[in-house]
Every structure is written in structure tokens, then in C-alpha cells.
Structure 1
Amino acid sequence: MSTRFILSLNILPIEVIYHIFDKLNVQTIILSLYNVCKQLNTIINAYFHSTRYQLNFDNMSKVDFIRICRFIQPENVISLTLSDQSTTPGQISLFFSLFHIERFIQLRSFILFCIESDHLNFILEHAINFPLVLLSIQEKDNSHRSTTIDTLLSRIIERSGLQNLTLSLKKDGSDQIKWPISSTIKHLTLYHCDLSHFPIVFRHFSSLRTLFIKYCNMIDYEPIGFEIPFDPVPMHQLTSLIMEDFKIIERPGLQNLTLSLKKDGSDQIKWPISSTIQHLTLYHCDLSHFPIIFRHFSSLRTLFIKYCDMIDYEPIGFEIPFDPVPMHQLTSLIMEEFNFNMSKVKSFLSNISSLTHLRLIGSINEIDFPWEQLIQTNLPLLNQFEFSFYMSIYDDDNSINTDTLIAPFRTPFWIKIKSWFVTCDQFIRDDDNNNNNITRPKYDIHLYSIPVRNRYFHYYSQSIKTTSSTSTDINNDISVMDYVHTVYVNTDIMMATTTTNEVQLQTRRFRKASNLNIRIDNPWPVDFVQHLSSFIDLSHLEKLTLIDESAEDSYPNTPIHFVDLLQQAYNVHSLVFKDKWLDKTCVSNMENFCSLISNHIKHLEIDISIMDDMKIILNRIDHLLSVTFRFINRKQHWPNKIIEWLSTRRDATYSTDLYTLSIWLGKKKKKKRKTCEQMTNDIKRIKTN
């Protein structure tokens, strides 16, 4: 006779259940396990009364927030994260209206995002008594921060035991924080510092191991006679230093640097004569930075550069001095979002014979570049080559086509020796759609290695492009586009007729894309959503953005396609409308628009030109967790009026500025039942009338 065992959570010892709970976050325990059965409810209640736990309310729905707060025992909370960002505005003040802050006696980690100065003053008065190990404060605007807050911060920073600190200083350098003589902080993040803070860091933070600084001017601010006292107090324990949006960098021993330069190229960085940096990341550089890198970064092993124009910016008489200083130690080079000058590319690649990994993404001025010759001659160690090149052709040169461009990549060097495969797309532009008589390219070329390494991809219909590839299995290899995160689609481009056979033959190339951007240039074509679903897995999408750049005409097909799209993209939780999309479709009133929004949409961002439209959205779309209204023009009084109207209808907190209103939405408020006396008076009034 066989014995049947029934597995149940209830039969486990309480210690085992507690151990399981320790591996779960608070949200999972309360939102998924509570109310399963009475016995489990008793165990959960006892757990929250006796165990320390961590709370992270960032980007949480207000309904879940309120539900979790009912279980919280402040004395047992050891980590707390609160946020007043656009998806959870007003969360911080709401939380401390539910709990007495002095009860959080075990709090070791305290993170505050986008906090107002008034709330920060109140919190810091009590945080002094917390046994904090980690404190992170990111203020919404600290320009009017009081001296009282600076004093409170000074007292907290000087406490022993604090090891991790994130702090935003005043942009004008007027803060009056008194830094400790000796600090136990090991990980420090500072925003908006100036040169005067560096001697403080090097003198008083002797335990510091990692330092992150963003937004700092080390050139314009330098007191007379000031000198950074690095030599007397070397920081041998510092292992990681990241400085972004700086005007100067120079320290011996620094090995890893990430730096964002000014987009207009006006930065005045004094680059070191000789640098020990081995890993360098630069954003928004120009051609003038290349000789600096090749002259002074002799220890560089990996180089990542993003956003650079190598064509439009070139000073008179400028020449990249690569030959004198070859970079034989550089093994990895990544250049993304570039405007490539291929003669310059050839010059510096010819001096980096040690490269094993090369990635180039951007537009180019020479589409038929002799890559095989360059690699065989100058890059003998290269074993990973990833590229994505774009080029627009303005003349009617019929000699340039996908077959001629892909031919150099069909040699044994590419296919057999390296096993590198390449695809070329040619997009034919339709001059009939050029209503503005603007000079436009005759066609565009996209030449790229596969699998695609771009985080984004612009999709063109098969009917208006020709494709050639060195891979015989490209149409069946479903992993080719797995790296793509965002797909861009234009209705103008998609207007080309797509046959039913073409749709059926396509495979879903974008299986893992989570964002879809649709630019509306013209009416949505017939079978638009069917076509989308043929090349992108709509069920994997999480965010949908509609950008309207169309004329003022009315397009009756838009709502139909929109509803169909949301039904298939059932995991989309964030929806963005830009440029008054609603005003240019047949959804002429907001009531009809609201009826189109599916229940799985939780976050909405939309342009608003009529104040009453905000009321309709808030009243009709009751499944939203947060909403951000963007005002076409400055509407100073709209936010106050909307919040006053909403306060009687729904639980909500908010934040606002000159052009936006962000609301974190909770439950609807129940209407109060009328008393017997009120009902009697109503009856009397009816009879009188």
C-alpha cells in the first residue's frame, strides 16, 4: 500500500519558513503570499513583528505602497528607499505621515530620491540618531537649502560607522557643510562640487576606496594660493575613481576614467602629459581629442567613445599625429554614434596593431571602404569586428547597390577564416511623399555585421528596400537582432505596400526589443499592426512611444490600429504620446481616447492643451499608477486646480514644474453615504419642486 505525501508550506517548521522569507523581498511576501490562508497570514504577521527587513518603494504603485505600509513595524526596518520622482510624486511626505520617523531605530541604509528641502530638514533632524551605514540624498533643488540642513548633514557625516555617502552639493558652492577631521566613509559620491572639496577629500577621507564625482569645475574656481595637497596624504586605498562632466583630470595611479565632455566642444580640460589610465570612456568628444589620446594615454588598453563628429569639426592645419606614438597596448576600441571620416579612421587604426576587439557604429562618408586590406595589413590580432554603418546617397548612381557593396565581404577571409558575416540594406526613398520640397537622399545604405550589436534599430519595409547578405541563414537565424533594445518605425516608410505573402514569410527578427517608437508621418497603412507583429514580438514590449510629425489632417484608421496594437502588446505598461497626437486624429475628444487605453497601461505621459482633458483622463482611466502631463505652454495655475479637483476623488500625491505635472495615483475615494436627515431633506425638496 503506497503512502501519499502532500507537500504544504504549512507543515514546514517556522524557522524554515522564516528562512524562505529572508530570501524574498517585502513586496513578494505581502502582495503574493498574504491572504493565501489564515495560518500563513499569522506567520507573516509574526515575521514582520520579529524580523529585520528592507523596504524599497521606488517606482511602486500607490495601492501596493499603502498595502505594504499596513504591515510595517518601523523598529524592524534596516533599509528604506523613498522617492518623489515623476512616477511616485509626494511619496516621502506621505510615508512619514503614516509613521513616526523616530521609531526607525534600526535603520542602517537610507536612500532618498528627488526630495524637497522642507522634507529633508524634517528627516535629518531624526536621522542623526539612526545607526546609518549608508546615506544617499538626491535633492530636487538644493539652491535654497538652509544652513540648518548643512549643519544637520555635518553632524551625520562626522558620525563613526557611516561607510557609504551620496550627496548633492550646491551648484554655486555656497554650502556650509563642516567636513569631519577623520571619516570612516569608504564609498563617496558627490554632485556639483568644486576645487575646494578636493583637499577635504584627500585630507579627511583616509578610508575612501571608491569615489564618484559628477559636475565639477576645476578651472573657473581656484582661490589664490590654492594648491591641492595630494602629496602629503596619498590615497593608496582608493581603487575606483569616476568623474563625469569635469573640466580637468590629472592624478597618477588613476586607471579607470569615465568622462562626459561638453557637446559644443567648449570644455577647457587640461589633459595630463602622461597618464596611467588603462580604461577610458568619453562622451561627446570631437576630432581634437584624438591626438591627445594617442600622445598622452600610453597605458590605455580599452577605449570607448560615444557621440563624436569626425567630419564637421576639423581645425585648419589640424593633423592627427598618430605615427610618432603608436598605441600597441590598446586591445579594445568601441566607437558608437559617430560621424566617421574614413580617411581618419584608417589613419588611427593603422597605428593600433594590438587590437583584438573593434566596434564601429555611425554614419560614414565612404561606404566601399577596403576593410579586408586594412585588417590583414594593420590589425593582425583582430578576432572580433562589429560594425553598423549608415550612408545617404543623393545622386542617381546605379553602380552603388547591395550586391556590389556586399561583394568584398564574400571572400574566404571573411567567411572561412574569420567567420564574420555581413548584411547590406538599401532603402529607396519615395519623392512623392516629400511635401516640403526639401533636398532628400535618393536612397539610404545600411551596412552591418551580424549578429547586430546596436541597442537600437530603424526598421524598413521589405517592399521598399533591397537586402544582400553573406549569411545564407540570416532569414532563419532568430538571434540576429537579440541585442536590439529599441525599434524605430516610421509610418511614412511603412506606407509602401506590403503583400500578404511577404508578411507571412517574415520571421520575428526582434524577439527581445522592449521599446517601440512609432513616428507618424502619414496615415497608418493598411494591416499596419499585422506587419509589425511579423517582425517584432509585440508581447515582449514594455514601452510604446507615439511621435506625431504629421500634417493637421484627420486619419480615421489611427484609433483602430492603436487598439489592435495595444491588444497584441499586452505587456506594455508605459505609454508616451508626443506632439499633440490626439489633436490630429479622429479621436477628437478625450472621452473616446480614454476608451482606447487598455488595462495593462500603468504609466501615461501625454501632451495636454486643454485643462479639462486632464480631468477626463484621471476620471476615466482608473487603472493608471502614475501620469505625467506635459503642457504645450507654461500653465502656472493648472496644476493647483487639477490637484484640488482630484483631492476629493482619488488618493494622490504629485510634483510639478513650469511645464509638467506628475501624479502618483492611489485608490478612488468612496463617496460618503447620506444621513437619514439629508435624505429626508432631499425628499422634501423634491416634493416642493
Structure 2
Amino acid sequence: MSNTMIPWLCLLPVEILHHIFDCLDASTILFSLRCTCRRLKTIVDSYDRYVLDFRSISKSDFQLLCCLINPRKVKSLILFPKDETSDQLELFMTYFRIQEFTRLRSLTLIEIEERQLKVLLKRFCIPSLTSFSFKLGKYDDRRTNTTATLLSSIISQANLHHLNLELRSTRIEKMIWPAQCLIKYLKIGSCDEFSQIFTILRCSPHLQTFVIKFSSYVDDTIISLDSFRTSFQQLTSLTLENLRANVNNLELLLSSMTSLTYLKLIGLGHFLNGNRWEQFIQTNLPCLKKFELFVQEWKDVDYTSVDIEAIIELFRTSFWIEHKKWFFTCETIELWPRVIKLYSIPLCISTLTYEPESNKISSSTFYSIINNDMSIMDNIDTIDFKFSKFTLDDIQQQQQSLHGPLFRRITNLELDYYVQPIPNWASFISILVDLTTVTQIKLTGIRIFQAHPNIITDLSTLLQQACSLTSLDICCNYDSRRSKLTAQDIYSMTPSHVKHLAASIKNLNEVKICLTKLQHLLTARFFYRSSSFSNVVVEWLEQEKAGSSYFVGAVFTKVWLVQSNNQFKLVRIGNKRIKLTVDH
């Protein structure tokens, strides 16, 4: 028997290995597994279900991946030419003839400039797509009609079932919907007319899930009387976000969707009447199984605890508690007593500004809220802490009542230091939030901007606990001319697992020090007071970060970095020297 140990992975059948590959990113498959042994190389070369996700990648890995991948074996593609990687799209098109992506089923374009859209969509094999997601970055009003025409062509494709459009309503309203659109899932990021919803529904007999985010102004009038008599039985799930509408018109809209099993409403208006909701749901939405609500209402006088109890009492009937088992909380904040919130439990919103319990006047039909039931916050992925609202008593009270993190699924954490934080604030955050799930952190406030040493020390400790953190923003929304943050401040706060950094920094010379120290970064963006040393930094980048894409301006610098260990990766895996070949 040979003394050589064969890795168990190499013994698995090809079909099982391909299923394992389905759970891995393309870089891991091509850079690591492909170089392990000859059998795995052969199996990798036969794999044809790659997902290319370019949202977080170094420039060197991007180029290497483009060299290794066969476009005919890609089923999903995500392009994200954000500010630091603005040349990603141009580079991508130099490596590929886009027509070669013949098996592409899902295409996601994020922050694409409107001028680039026509070139891209004319080249991709659009008829093969089953899913298309698009977020427009830089607009060009001269191309409004062109964009609408291109998108109209896409939605008429027979295989397209999933569509996500995040762009201004001026583009969406000019689209021409085919009479028999086959889309089953539709999300639009900007809508300003109820009539547009009816138009889409009339043309979409297969639409099952509809997610709508309204513009700041909503025309909720329903002009055609025929709309009242139309029933859209195909629709089973509806989400309305940023809703500002007359409750009568909202009821007219919803009464045409009698097959709904799921309804989510997030907005501002007169939607607090539990008795009215009960009667409407019983009469018009008999199939509704899940109702999620987060609404706010303003009035000219302060709300009191009596007002809160009067509102929540209408949600304590047997219909809500026993039959539907839907629970609600009503609250107001002492600092803003003219605004009242009514929301279902668990919270259905994804973004929350945290308020200490001592600032609230609230009442709930959900008894477990008193015991800090953790599940009520599981839909929250972004949370903002403003330390100006906290007292030491708030922290001590919360620490005593919690038996585990209240926020268990946070990915985006925002910390605002407009005042000096109270003692033990860092431990309070680590108790309240499960930091292991956080991938993005944004720091703002004058105390950080002025490089307050105690805060920087505490932050360095806190950020190290966020083991999944990939993106860090340090005071980028401030006037960069006032920043006192040095390179040492920045790199002392930045953990080694952070890949994307944006920061306001004292001056341009400090940028070189940061980039020298933070070798693990994939992208970086720095803001500083106006400088005349840009030529010096350009020369340094050309010499020390050769191959990187960059822009050095008078007040900011952005870099898409080539990692220094990339050449090593090309030729050495473990103790073996291996040549990575391109098999197009």
C-alpha cells in the first residue's frame, strides 16, 4: 500500500464535487482547488455553473480570474464598478467578448453609468436570462428614452422571471410593458403613481411577488373606475415601502388583490386604526396569512401614554391575538412626542436608529417584548447608535436585562460620536450587537474627526471583535479639511481582515503611510484638505503599487489595489510551483 495519503476530497464523485463547487466562489475554485492535484484540475475544468461576483475583489485577482474563467461556463454574473473600481467594466470588456456568455442565466449590474448601459445590454445574450437586477449609478438625462427602450426589450423576454430595477421613476414610467409579461417576481426601487401599479399588474398575469418602493412624492389617485372592478388574482405577495398615501386610496388598491397571502406596509400616514384594518382584512383579504406593518403618524400636539394605549387597544381583539396571532407595538419617543410609531412584531424594517428604553413611551400586545425577546429584531440588518441619546443608566439597565445580543443579524453598524461617549460604551455595543455578523461599519462624529485618543483606543478593540468586517468608513461624510486623523490613527483602528477602507485623513502625505501599512486592502478612498503634493503621490503609486487603478485629486484619492502577493499566487501553491493555464 502506498504511504501517500490521498485527500478525501479527491475521492468524491464528480457530481458531489460539483455540488460542493456550487457553494464556493469562483476564486476559491480556480485559485485553490484547481491547483491541488490533476484530478481536481480536470473536475474543475468540467464545471460549468460559475457565479462571478465582482463586488469585492482586488484588481489583481479580478484580472487573474478573467484570464482563467471560460465565459461559456458562467451562469451568474455580478458587475459593480463602484467609485474605487470605476474602470472594472472597461477592463471586463477587454478580457471578454460578452457574446460568449451563452449560458448566462442571471445578470446583476450595480452602479452602472447610464451611458454604459446600451453597450452592455446590446452584447449580452438577453433572451437566455431568467433573472436581471439593475441599479443605475450616474444618470444621463439625454438617455432617458434609450434606457426605457432597452428595459422594455428586456421585460418582453420569454425566459425572464425575476426582475429588480433600482432607478428613477422617470425611467420606469416610460417603459412599455408587454401585454403578456411573464415575470413572476418584480421589485422596483422608485414609483410615484398608483396608476403605474395598475398598469404593471394588468400586463403581468404571472406576477406573484411585487415589491415597490415609492418616491418622496406619491400620486395615490386612482383615475379609472375600471381599476376598482379589476381583480389581480395572480398576486400573492405585496410589499409597499416609503408609502405616503390616503388610507381610502390605499384600500382601493389593496381591494383589487384579494389573493394576497403576504402584505408588508412601511410608510407615513393615517394607518393606526386597528378596527378599520380588522374589518378591511376580513372583507377584502381573506387569504392573508402574514401582515407586517411599520407606520408613523404626525400630529400637531404631543402624544401621551393615554394616546398610545387607545391605539394599541384596538389591536387586542380576538381577531389579532387569537385568530391571526399578529402582534403590535405602539410607541413615541420623548424627544419627538409628536411622532407615533405602530409596528408589527418582529420588526419588519431592515434599518433602525437605536433608542434607549428610557426615552420611549410604549405599549405592546406582545408580552415577550418585556423580556427582551431576541427574535423581534432579527429582520434588522442596519443599526445606528447616536451616543448623544445615551446615559450611564441606560447602559447599566440594558446590560442587566439582556441575556444575549438583542441584535443578532446586523451586517451594517453605524456609530455616531457627536458627543463624548459615556463610560463602557464599547462593551455596551458588544453586548447589544452580535459583532461577528457585522460586515460594514461606518464611524461619524466630531469626536472621531478630532482624533480623540480614548475613542480611537476603544474603537481599535471593538473593531477587532467584528471578525467578518470587510468594509470600514471613517468620517467620510465630514468636511475633510478639518480632519485631524493621522495614518497611525487610521491603521490602528483598521483590522487586518478589512478589505475596503474609506477615511478622512489629515493630509495627502498620510495616504502613502496608510497604504504601506494596510497591505490587506482591496480598495481605498481618502479625503483630505486641499494638497499640492498629488504628483508626489502619483509617482509613489506608480512605483509601489504598480498595476493598481487610481485617481489622485486635490481633495481625495481613490485606489483599486493590486495585491503584492498576487505574483506569488500565480506560481506557488503550498510547496509546489504551478503554472495556471487559461483554457478558453
Aligned CA RMSD, in angstroms, stands at 5.3
- 1:461 matched to 2:356? The reply is yes
Q: Which residue of 286, 310, 314 maps to 1:404? A: 310
Superimposed CA distance per residue, residues 432-451 of structure 1 (whole angstroms, 9 cap, x where no aligned partner):
xxxxxxxxx43543321122
Q: Which sections of structure 1, spanning at least 5 residues, go unmatched? A: 35-40, 93-112, 145-166, 180-186, 190-206, 223-241, 430-440, 670-689
Structure of greater Rg? 1
Q: Give the 5 Å matches for 1:522-533.
A: 522-533=419-430
Equivalenced residue count is 543
Q: Which residue of 567, 576, 586 maps to 2:464? A: 567
Q: Is the 8 A contact 2:194 2:219 kept in 1?
A: yes
* Matches of 1:504 and 1:274, distance apart in 2: 60
Q: Which residue of 120, 125, 130 maps to 1:188? A: 125
1:409 and 1:625, CA in 2 relative to 1: closer, same or farther beyond 3 A? Answer: same
* Matches of 1:498 and 1:544, distance apart in 2: 23
Aligned partner of 1:44 in structure 2 is 37
1:256 and 1:327, CA in 2 relative to 1: closer, same or farther beyond 3 A? Answer: farther
- 1:169 matched to 2:106? The reply is no
Q: Which residue of 483, 492, 502 maps to 1:605? A: 502
Q: Give the 5 Å matches for 1:129-144.
A: 133=102
Q: Which residue of 3, 6, 9 maps to 1:10? A: 6
What one-letter code is carried by the residue in structure 2 that aligns with 1:579?
N
Q: Is the 8 A contact 2:330 2:343 kept in 1?
A: yes
* Matches of 2:173 and 2:227, distance apart in 1: 26
Aligned partner of 1:101 in structure 2 is none
Q: Which residue of 477, 486, 503 maps to 2:382? A: 486
Return the offset for 1:213.
9.7
Superimposed CA distance per residue, residues 456-487 of structure 1 (whole angstroms, 9 cap, x where no aligned partner):
23321122123322122233533222232222
What one-letter code is carried by the residue in structure 2 that aligns with 1:522?
V
Aligned partner of 1:286 in structure 2 is 192
* Matches of 1:219 and 1:247, distance apart in 2: 14
Return the offset for 1:360.
0.7
Q: Secondary structure at the residue paired with 1:52?
A: helix
Q: Is the 8 A contact 2:303 2:332 kept in 1?
A: no
Return the offset for 1:636.
10
* Matches of 2:313 and 2:191, distance apart in 1: 34
Aligned partner of 1:589 in structure 2 is 486
Aligned partner of 2:337 in structure 1 is 442
1:302 and 1:613, CA in 2 relative to 1: closer, same or farther beyond 3 A? Answer: same
Q: Is the 8 A contact 1:521 1:550 kept in 2?
A: yes
Q: Is the 8 A contact 1:245 1:262 kept in 2?
A: no
What one-letter code is carried by the residue in structure 1 that aligns with 2:349?
N
Superimposed CA distance per residue, residues 477-530 of structure 1 (whole angstroms, 9 cap, x where no aligned partner):
332222322222222334574141332212422211111122343333332222
Q: Is the 8 A contact 2:303 2:340 kept in 1?
A: no
Q: Give the 5 Å matches for 1:630-649.
A: 630=527, 638=534, 641-649=536-544
1:501 and 1:390, CA in 2 relative to 1: closer, same or farther beyond 3 A? Answer: same
Q: Is the 8 A contact 1:142 1:170 kept in 2?
A: no
Deviates more, 1:612-621 or 1:334-343: 334-343
1:243 and 1:254, CA in 2 relative to 1: closer, same or farther beyond 3 A? Answer: farther
Q: Secondary structure at the residue paired with 2:467?
A: coil
Aligned partner of 2:280 in structure 1 is 374
Q: Is the 8 A contact 2:180 2:203 kept in 1?
A: yes
More helix by share: 2
- 1:579 matched to 2:477? The reply is yes
Q: Give the 5 Å matches for 1:59-458.
A: 59-61=56-58, 85=81, 113-116=88-91, 120=93, 123=95, 133=102, 168-170=117-119, 188-189=125-126, 246=151, 258=163, 260=165, 263=168, 265=170, 269=174, 279=184, 280-289=186-195, 292-293=198-199, 296=202, 299=205, 302=208, 304-308=210-214, 312-314=217-219, 321=225, 324-327=228-231, 329=233, 330-368=235-273, 370-393=276-299, 395-398=301-304, 401-429=307-335, 441-458=336-353
Q: Secondary structure at the residue paired with 2:564?
A: strand
* Matches of 2:215 and 2:70, distance apart in 1: 54
Return the offset for 1:331.
3.2
Q: Secondary structure at the residue paired with 2:314?
A: helix
Q: Secondary structure at the residue paired with 1:409?
A: coil
Q: Secondary structure at the residue paired with 1:114?
A: helix
Superimposed CA distance per residue, residues 117-158 of structure 1 (whole angstroms, 9 cap, x where no aligned partner):
xx856x56xx69x987458998999999xxxxxxxxxxxxxx
Q: Which residue of 393, 397, 410 maps to 1:501? A: 397
1:79 and 1:526, CA in 2 relative to 1: closer, same or farther beyond 3 A? Answer: same
Q: Secondary structure at the residue paired with 1:334?
A: strand
Return the offset for 1:408.
1.4
Superimposed CA distance per residue, residues 321-366 of structure 1 (whole angstroms, 9 cap, x where no aligned partner):
4764242524332112322432322333344433322111122244
Q: Give the 5 Å matches for 1:608-623.
A: 608=505, 610-623=507-520
Task: Among all aligned residue pairs of Structure 1 and Structure 2, give the percentage whose two residues are the same amino acid.
Answer: 22
Q: Secondary structure at the residue paired with 2:367?
A: coil
Q: Give the 5 Å matches for 1:511-526.
A: 511-526=408-423
Return the offset for 1:648.
3.6
* Matches of 1:50 and 1:626, distance apart in 2: 33
* Matches of 1:253 and 1:133, distance apart in 2: 16
* Matches of 1:140 and 1:295, distance apart in 2: 28
* Matches of 1:46 and 1:632, distance apart in 2: 56
What one-letter code is carried by the residue in structure 2 that aligns with 1:500?
Q
* Matches of 1:13 and 1:510, distance apart in 2: 37
1:324 and 1:376, CA in 2 relative to 1: closer, same or farther beyond 3 A? Answer: closer
Q: Give the 5 Å matches for 1:26-41.
A: 28=28
1:540 and 1:219, CA in 2 relative to 1: closer, same or farther beyond 3 A? Answer: closer
1:115 and 1:630, CA in 2 relative to 1: closer, same or farther beyond 3 A? Answer: farther
Aligned partner of 2:571 in structure 1 is none
1:212 and 1:667, CA in 2 relative to 1: closer, same or farther beyond 3 A? Answer: closer
Q: Secondary structure at the residue paired with 1:454?
A: coil
TM-score (norm 1): 0.63
Q: Is the 8 A contact 2:294 2:344 kept in 1?
A: yes
Q: Which sections of structure 2, spanning at least 5 residues, go unmatched? A: 567-584
1:259 and 1:534, CA in 2 relative to 1: closer, same or farther beyond 3 A? Answer: closer
1:78 and 1:597, CA in 2 relative to 1: closer, same or farther beyond 3 A? Answer: same
What one-letter code is carried by the residue in structure 1 that aligns with 2:90?
I
Q: Is the 8 A contact 2:81 2:112 kept in 1?
A: no
Return the offset for 1:301.
5.2
What one-letter code is carried by the residue in structure 2 that aligns with 1:482?
D
Return the offset for 1:617.
0.8
* Matches of 2:175 and 2:261, distance apart in 1: 31
* Matches of 2:78 and 2:215, distance apart in 1: 41
Aligned partner of 1:197 in structure 2 is none
What one-letter code is carried by the residue in structure 2 that aligns with 1:460?
E
Aligned partner of 2:563 in structure 1 is 666
* Matches of 1:614 and 1:209, distance apart in 2: 43
* Matches of 1:11 and 1:487, distance apart in 2: 44
1:140 and 1:303, CA in 2 relative to 1: closer, same or farther beyond 3 A? Answer: closer
Superimposed CA distance per residue, residues 52-74 of structure 1 (whole angstroms, 9 cap, x where no aligned partner):
267869434578789x89xx997
Aligned partner of 1:95 in structure 2 is none
